[in-house]
Amino acid sequence: MSRIGKKPINIPAGVTATINGNNITVKGPLGTLTKSFNSNIQVKIEGNQIDVINPNDNKELKKFHGLYRQIIANAVEGVSKGFTKSLSIKGVGYKASMKGNDIVLNIGFSHPVEFKSVEGIKFSCDKDTIKVEGIDKELVGQVAASIKALKPVEPYHGYGIFYTDEVVYRKEAKTGKK
């Protein structure tokens, strides 16, 4: 049995959860999220706690027991606290600025790159940092990864877009013949 799947999910004050078939809807102060789960997995709400139960030892269901528990836990955390990913930009002349709700990136191309806003995601940026905020952890991570993919980090100088807490490994340049 999954160690993560066995853990109950505590529902904080101000958050409500309802089950409708194989969908769970979580409402909180920051918004509402609806997540679906396998109909063979049981989800029960008792008091201020959500339990995800695997009713049998089917190998296929064992794989998803902990996954569905964590997806529901992330939904509960998202509507109560929210999620944030922070990106850094490094390079000569590289910068980010806001244009309405969109981000305009000058990242070494002959033209500025405009990244359109996504529903449910809020951007904020400084000159060399971008913050991606939202209630859906999966969507926040995907949007941050899409921004990062616009200019991957170059290993010799470290130019590009990377997560703020990411360690960028640098390569040593060629030194010449001996």
53-76 burial by CB neighbour count: b if 16+ within 10 A, else e? ebeeeeeebeebbbbbbbbbbbbb
- pLDDT for 91-102, tens place per residue? 999 999 999 999
pLDDT at 64: 87
- pLDDT for 114-124, tens place per residue? 999 999 999 99
Nearest to 132 by CA among 150, 149, 146: 146
Nearest to 80 by CA among 150, 26, 23: 26
- Cα–chain-centroid distance for residue 147? 13
For each of the domains in the chain, give its residue range(s) and CATH number, in order of start: 3-80 (3.90.930.12), 83-163 (3.90.930.12)
Number of H helices, E strands in the chain: 3, 13
- pLDDT for 35-73, tens place per residue? 998 888 889 999 899 999 888 877 878 888 889 999 999
